[in-house]
Structure 1
Amino acid sequence: MPAPLPLKTYLDVRQALRDRREIALIDVREEDPFAQAHPLFAANLPVSRIELDAWSRMPRRDTLIVVYDNGEGLARNAAQTLTRLGYKQVSLLHGGLEGWRQAGGEVFKDVNVPSKAFGEWVEAQRHTPSLSAEEVKKLLEQQADMVVLDARRFDEYQTMSIPTAISVPGAELVLRAAALAPNPATRIIVNCAGRTRSIIGTQSLVNAGLPNPISALRNGTIGWKLAGQDLDHGASRQFANISEAQCIQASRQARLVADRAGVGRASLADLARFSSETGRTTYRYDVRTPEEFATGHLPGFGSAPGGQLVQETDVSMPVRGARVVLADLDGVRANMTASWLAQMGWDVWVLDGIQITDLNETGHPEIQAPPTIEPIEWASPVQLFQWLQDEPAGHLAVLDLGTSASYVKRHIPGAWFALRSELPKVLKRIPGAQRYVLTCDSSLLSRYAAHELSRLTDAEVVVLRGGTRAWIDAGLPLEQGETRLASPRIDRYRRSYEGTDNPREAMQGYLDWEYGLVEQLRQDGTHGFQVI
């Protein structure tokens, strides 16, 4: 019988947040239920993949971790798993999410809420300039001297974009804008899908002192669609290279902004000292593009392009109160990213004096996942294909534990989509089998689930070596669509600003929610935001 887990109350968590002590408040439900309601600084770490995410997202094993669910029975199992993974200070939130509510805690909807709420706080404090969709469309029709800069990731930009817009992901704006609008009279419009990255991107250019007239596209592509205006799809306009003089000027501007925000300066010697401090969590991120990162980066650093790092602090840095060290080679992207993180209450440092020879690690790091203890029976893709061909109907069932989006895109014929956290329910929902084969994108997740499934059934449990990716690489047949759902698709929350088929009501509801975030921050009282 495992020892009882300690409890932390709403007041314990609130005080730690207000004191800026290190704490990870972890919601172990799937993303959709998490997005329906959660505390401001809660991070989503679903129990179904906790072994894959914990070590990278919470790198210090004696970090204070408080785990909760909403009565689904997931939190205790997740806490016990974290303890087995070596974490020494794991507690349950007293009463779970409902206990938080009953104690007077504020709850928030959607994902990446700290960043979105911060964006609204910035606009309220700084009155960030913006233009409506109708005003921007009129300027385009008049062929005004202007550029539209899309601050989202390139893949988001390609899905839908404002006509003429150029992809310049957030942290690139201060580095690239002067080259894209060299005439100080040229108007710069910054957009994203909704509001946050438009606001932060616009305010970045204003803070950096660009002489151009600068405005956010109010409400982004959502506002554009609600105005009944057409979007482009599949655009490919991207920023170009800049001159050395432009880089030097942007670096000076970014450094001034970072200094105003109170960003710390660090050397490689400081970084070594940080790494030796066992009482602090230190996140280390390279904020250049993924392509630059893969070519060469500092050992131990992860890739987090600056605009997305500011947008997704809860994903990249679930330990609130941790230290953050950022790196680039140009002195622009790290300083601008750090300036925003500092205003969000993070202890953030920029590495100075980095030389290209220091970037001696290439590629993208592999997931550091703990080993499995139980013996696993494996099958190759060819073996599984043969079983599916030869065995009688009902003898074998393939369970796909990958993401529902990957499953819908392509999966092994006859496979069931299943959430690992729902395995007991899954066995009741599908016809019984004498052999279960587990797959996921790579087989990493399947190997953790194998022993759990073995405890639930007397049937043989096998893991597909290399997962669905190996099946695809072998050139074997595939299916598409929601052919067999043994679990609901709650592993992903559908954002109202994604895709091109969202109902108007959902888009307007999302904007109304964003407008209300400032008042929610005041009610919550734990944010610690300070806008320069």
Structure 2
Amino acid sequence: MPAQPAAVTAAQVRALLLRRDEVVIADVREEALYARGHPLWAANFPLSLLELDAWRRIPRRDTPVVVYGDADAPARRAIDALRRLGYSGVRPLLDGLDGWTASGGELFQGVNVPSKAFGELVESVNRTPSLAAEHVGALIEAGTPPVIVDARRFDEFHTMSIPTATSVPGAELVLRIRELAPDPATPVVVNCAGRTRSIIGAQSLINAGLPNPVAALRNGTIGWTLAGQRLDHGATGTAPLGVADSHHALARSGARAVARRAGVRFARTSELPGLHGPGRTTYLFDVRSAAEFAAGHLDGSLHAPGGQLVQETDHYAPVRGARIVLVDDDGVRAAMTGSWLAQMGWETWAISPAAPGDLLRRGAEPGPVPDPPQVDTVNAATLRTWLGPREEATTVIDRLDADQAATAVIDVGPSREYAAGHVPGAWHAARARLPAALGTIGAATRYVVTSPTGRLARFAAADLSRLTSAPVFSLDGGTAAWGTGAPLESEPARYAVAPADRYRRPYEGTDNGRAAMEAYLEWEFGLVEQLKRDGTHHFRVLR
């Protein structure tokens, strides 16, 4: 085993952040554990998914990467994996999170914390107008509703929404709002599930010079629910795709003006090679809709819808200190998105608009991933013969628990997808927690590892083969291949270790408890004070 590199102290990491040098702080625990507490600029890179994430999210292989984990996801294993992927600047954080807190470092709970904390700072500096749910509800009941625009992703809007609202994801707001509210006297209310996208959306319209009265819906759908008001489910309303020339001109003028105030620099496509020069990480993001991106985009760009990019910057751009280049074809969305990223301390450029002749690459743009390890595979038809005739679920569980001469199937995919449908009788275990999972599953004649497409399963099968002398196979084509010829099951769910691969956001879904929603709002309200104590953010909010 190669020697581990010298550890980096918390003080050294803090110095890098304060100098705005490039650095990745990689928390390799599962997301639910990461959400319990981490440094402000730590990005979640679960050890279970590291090979599938690293090349896309950390494009330059000599980027300084500081790693910490836990007993299930040791920093040593992550460092070894990153070295195999070609990263040369990987070092452990001295004493991990304990070392960070012992040095006086602040720990932040939750996910997407830089963006959420920034949103709270924006409201505190600008006093972004907001309206209480009760007030907006009364206007709707009276038949005089404002134009309500939901700044979340469409799928979130479709799950639950404010009555009469229209889906206009964040980056689309400035471009399309005048199609919905052409009369400057019409009030506009922006909502999300909680606070951040409501605040950023409302302030975007204000900053871009929309003359209408604009407000955020205070505390979003959480505030609406806590007020005892009814949410809609299954709404489908979206803004018109077409934008009048006069409205487009106003949107473009306003977006470019605020972008320049924030420090965004504009470039042409021909200048990209210089921005991609050596020794500097440059992210190239197309901030338009997924359909527009698929129809034609700039070669080498990745899709990151602008509103979500501002909301989840730590996910899309985990290299703090990197350069971000944004692309659109309308002169509005990249400029407006860039105005926020620049205020968050990123060096931001915009190709806004790109020439149609530059947007020639079609289809999805898959991120670069290494070839999976060579492992033994089994097809779905053979696996069905190994598992034998399907019996009642409880009988199968009893047989597997009693008869150790069995084929044990282990699903290492996301726990939510496993719960929705898995190979009958399969166990679930995150890849990084396979050693503990084997203690629950017990000995078997053979093990078969699966995941949604089978790619992750091959990495996990290679890991598992080092933990057992029994034959280990990867299901060819993954769970999707099984599902084409035989039914999946959702029950019973058999978790070999308690799933921790996803933090359940208190603002998502329709079954959140009141206490959890109230606690979430209290957490958001406290983020500005945490930013002051931490001192590494470099946020500069326009007034």
**TM-score, normalised via structure 1 length:** 0.97
**Matched residue, 1:443:** 454
> Percent identity, aligned pairs only?
55
What is the deviation of 1:252?
1.1
**In structure 1, how many angstroms separate the alpha carbons of the residues matched to 2:48 and 2:292?**
32
Q: Secondary structure at the match of 1:8?
A: coil
2:469 to 458, 462, 467: 458
Q: Which residue of 1 aligns with 2:387?
A: 388
Give the corresponding residue for 2:439: 428
Maintained 8 Å contact 2:506/2:517: yes
Q: Which residue of 2 aligns with 1:502?
A: 512
Quote the Cα distance in structure 2 between the aligned partners of 1:28 and 1:83: 15
- CA apart distance, 1:390: 6.4
Q: Distance in 2 between matches of 1:432 and 1:156?
A: 42
Aligned counterparts, 1:460-479, within 5 A? 460-472=471-483, 474-479=484-489
Write the distance in 2 (CA, Å) between the matches of 1:310 and 1:96. 28
Pairing 1:418–2:422 present: no
Q: Which residue of 1 aligns with 2:396?
A: none
Give the secondary structure class of the aligned counterpart of 1:456. Answer: coil
1:274 is displaced (CA, Å) by: 2.0
Secondary structure of the 1:526 match is coil
Query: Aligned ranges for residues 149-168 of structure 1 at < 5 Å?
Result: 149-168=149-168
Distance between the aligned counterparts of 1:203 and 1:367, measured in 2? Answer: 33
* Alpha carbons 2:411, 2:429 under 8 Å: kept: yes
Deviations 1:474-494 (A, max 9, x none): 231210145211121210001
- 8 Å CA contact retained: 1:262, 1:342: yes
Letter in 1 for 2:527: L
> Relative to 1, partners in 2 of residues 1:359 and 1:230: Cα closer, same or farther, differing over 3 Å?
same
Q: Tell me how far apart the structure 2 counterparts of residues 481 and 516 of structure 1 sit (CA, whole Å).
A: 40
- Greater shift after overlay, 84-93 or 482-491? 482-491
* Corresponding position: 1:285 with 2:285: yes
Correspondence for 2:393: none
Amino acid aligned to 1:246: H
8 Å CA contact 1:6–1:90 kept in 2: the answer is no
Matches within 5 A, 1:130-141: 130-141=130-141
The question of whether the paired residues in 1 share the 8 Å contact of 2:409 and 2:448 is answered with yes
Q: Deviations over 1:421-472 (max 9, x none)?
A: 1111111101321111110011111111222111111111111111111222
Counterpart-to-counterpart distance in 1, 2:26 and 2:343? 23
State the Cα deviation string for residues 479-530 of structure 1 (Å, max 9, x = none).
0145211121210001100111111111000000000000000000000000
Matched residue type, 1:334: A
* Bigger mean CA offset, 70-79 vs 183-192: 70-79
How far, CA to CA, are the matches of 2:91 and 2:368 in structure 1?
24
Alignment of 1:346-365 (within 5 A): 346-352=346-352, 354-365=354-365
Q: Is the 8 A contact 2:293 2:303 kept in 1?
A: yes
CA distance, structure 1, for counterparts of residue 341 and residue 68 of structure 2? 26
Which of residues 363, 387, 397 in structure 1 aligns to 2:408?
397
Matched, 1:492 2:502: yes
Q: 1:131-530 residue pairs with structure 2 within 5 A?
A: 131-144=131-144, 146-241=146-241, 242-275=243-276, 277-352=277-352, 354-373=354-373, 375-389=374-388, 394=404, 395-472=406-483, 474-481=484-491, 483-530=493-540
Instruction: Name which of structure 1's ranges 115-124 and 453-462 shifts more when overlaid on structure 2.
Output: 453-462
1:32 counterpart SS class: helix
CA distance in 2, matches of 1:327, 1:490: 35
Describe the superposition over 1:277-316 as per-residue Cα deviations: whole angstroms up to 9, x where unpaired. 1200000100000111111111110110000000000100
Cα separation, partners in 2 of 1:87 and 1:220, compared to 1, 3 Å: same
Q: What is the deviation of 1:369? A: 1.4
Q: Which amino acid aligns with 2:498?
A: P
Q: CA deviation at 1:118?
A: 0.1
After superposition, the C-alpha distances for 1:213-270 in whole angstroms (9 at most, x for unaligned) are 0000000000000001110011111111222332222111100010110101111122
CA RMSD of aligned residues (A): 1.3
Q: Which amino acid aligns with 2:283?
A: Y
Unaligned runs of 5+ in 1: none
SS at match of 2:494: coil
Structure 1 counterpart of 2:287, one-letter code: V
Residues 285 and 495 (structure 1), Cα distance of their counterparts in 2 relative to 1, 3 Å cut: same
- Asked if the contact 2:28–2:73 (Cα under 8 Å) also holds between the matched residues in 1, the reply is no
| Maintained 8 Å contact 1:407/1:481 | no
How many residues get paired?
529
Q: 2:216 corresponds to which letter in structure 1?
A: A
Deviation at 1:398, TM superposition (A): 0.6
Distance 1:72 1:452 in 2: 14
Gaps of 5+ in 2: 391-398
Q: Is the 8 A contact 1:70 1:97 kept in 2?
A: no
Distance, in Å, in 1 between the alignment partners of 2:367 and 2:320 is 22
Between the aligned partners of 2:408 and 2:63, the Cα distance in structure 1 is 40
Task: Call closer, same or farther: CA 1:140–1:325 in 2, change over 3 Å.
Answer: same
The structural deviation recorded for 1:72 is 4.5
